[in-house]
Amino acid sequence: MIRLAKPYITETTIEKVAEVLRSGNLVQGQYVREFEAALEKYLGVEHAIVVSSGTAALHLSLLATGIGPGDEVIVPAFTFPATVNVVEIVGAIPVLVDITLEDYCIDVTKIEEVITPKTKAIIPVHEFGQSADIAPILNVARKYKLKIIEDAACALGTEYNNKKAGTFGDLGCFSFHPRKAITTGEGGAIVTESHELAEKIRSLRNHGISSTNGKIDFEYAGLNYRITDFQAILGSSQLSDMDYLISQRMETAKIYDDSLRGIDWIDTPERIDGRKHVYQTYHVMVDEGIDRDKLIESLKTNGVETNIGAYALHMIGYYQNKYDYTDVSYIQTKNSYLHGLALPLGQHISQKNGKLISNTLIKTVAKYYG
């Protein structure tokens, strides 16, 4: 079975993790700070704070910016539910906006029409490793004095006009889940240029602890969103290979592009000027006449693991039951949810495997729908 994703963990990295485990110093310590420093250098930011997950990063970002009950937060309708779940958790109201099929990110032309006096923030998602069209989003945020919390969970290394995704807004959030280019098992990070926000987040991730003149106090009702030292050294070891890992993903994406080009029942990802796509996911759209879910099962039978791309938030149980969302407002989101397909991507996909996966997809569709 060719797996959808497989973590890139070298024997050298495993040995480094083992050394930390043998030391007995497991909780947040020197390797956490070293990982943070490496992220600050790679992203070109003042502050990076690593935490226990990408979801924790989003949650802490909302808490740090004071967003809470009654506030409205604009979120793309097509993403993983974690993006919107944290809005619910802090008691705020998620306002969904449709996406474009060009980049599967929020439709920037539809943001301004949903802004109200209660709107406090926008969470643009850099979906699948493709940058959202961030410049117009920043313009709207400045106009209405809104916070920008970038969900860059899939976008470490992604660029918009030669600047790294996650570094444009007030806060940027990353994930190190095993399906990401680098992984700490579970883990995430928040980046910011604001010293005030950084200090607040560092406190909130560690039970709300503050220290003045060596005296410990609890300034906030915080959480335990710390990451361990052995996770941190796993992350920093992989981060040193980040450029190589991205180049490998881009090479596999090109194999898919070349193999699937010109086929009328499939749309491959677009390459957009000024944006560097790092392909956390190679997401295609299949024709409406093809049963995507049956196609996933058929490909699995033929030794290729695939999956859906992301979720239409207005169509999943909790949000469908709580809010009065309608399909007509999220046409492209629904289309992407029902017809999107994620192909295997990562270090485990050789050039030979890339071509094999493409041919298996073509032959499977021809067999059942040709």
Residue by residue, DSSP assigns 196-249 as: HHHHHHHHHTBTTEEEETTEEEE-S---B----HHHHHHHHHHHTTHHHHHHHH
Q: Where in the chain is the domain with CATH 3.40.640.10?
A: 11-98+105-239
275 close to 160: Cβ distance less than 8 angstroms: yes
CA distance 233 to 336: 37
3-state helix, strand, coil in the chain (%, to 5): 40, 20, 40
Residue 196 neighbours by CB under 8 Å, 6+ apart: none
- In the chain, which ranges are continuous DSSP H helix? 11-23, 30-43, 54-64, 82-89, 134-144, 195-204, 229-239, 242-260, 292-301, 317-322, 331-339, 351-369
pLDDT of residue 27: 82
Sign, CA dihedral 358-364-369-370, equals positive
Pairing of the two strands 72-76 and 93-97: parallel
pLDDT bracket for residue 350 (50, 70, 90): very high
Spatial CA neighbour of 131 closest among 88, 94, 169, 87: 169
290-325 confidence digits (pLDDT tens): 999 999 999 999 999 999 999 999 999 999 999 989
The separation between the first and the last C-alpha atoms of the chain, rounded to the nearest angstrom, is 25
CA distance 26 to 154: 27
For residue 97, the cross-strand partners are 76
pLDDT of residue 210: 87
149-200 confidence digits (pLDDT tens): 999 999 999 999 999 999 999 999 999 999 999 999 999 999 999 999 999 9
pLDDT at 74 over 90: yes
Q: Where in the chain is the domain with CATH 3.90.1150.10?
A: 242-369
Q: In terms of CATH architecture, what is 11-98+105-239?
A: 3-Layer(aba) Sandwich (3.40)
pLDDT at 370 over 80: no
Mean pLDDT, the chain, as a whole number? 96
pLDDT bracket for residue 368 (50, 70, 90): confident
For the domain made up of 242-369, the CATH class stated in words is alpha beta
Reduced to 3 states (helix: H, G, I; strand: E, B; else coil), residue 183 is coil
Kindly list the catalytic residues: 180
pLDDT of residue 86: 98
For residue 90, the cross-strand partners are none
CA distance 194 to 357: 45
For residue 228, the cross-strand partners are none
User: Which residues in 4-16 are b (16+ Cβ under 10 Å) and which e?
Assistant: bbebbbeeebeeb
pLDDT of residue 316: 96
pLDDT of residue 212: 77
The token pair at 279 is 């392909």
**Neighbouring C-alpha atoms within 13 Å toward the C-beta of 37:** 7
pLDDT of residue 25: 80
pLDDT at 247 over 90: yes
93-125 confidence digits (pLDDT tens): 999 999 999 999 999 999 999 999 999 999 999
pLDDT of residue 54: 98
Maximal C-alpha separation, the chain: 74
pLDDT of residue 121: 98
Spatial CA neighbour of 91 closest among 118, 54, 53: 118
2-61 confidence digits (pLDDT tens): 999 999 999 999 999 998 899 888 888 899 999 999 999 999 999 999 999 999 999 999
pLDDT of residue 28: 81
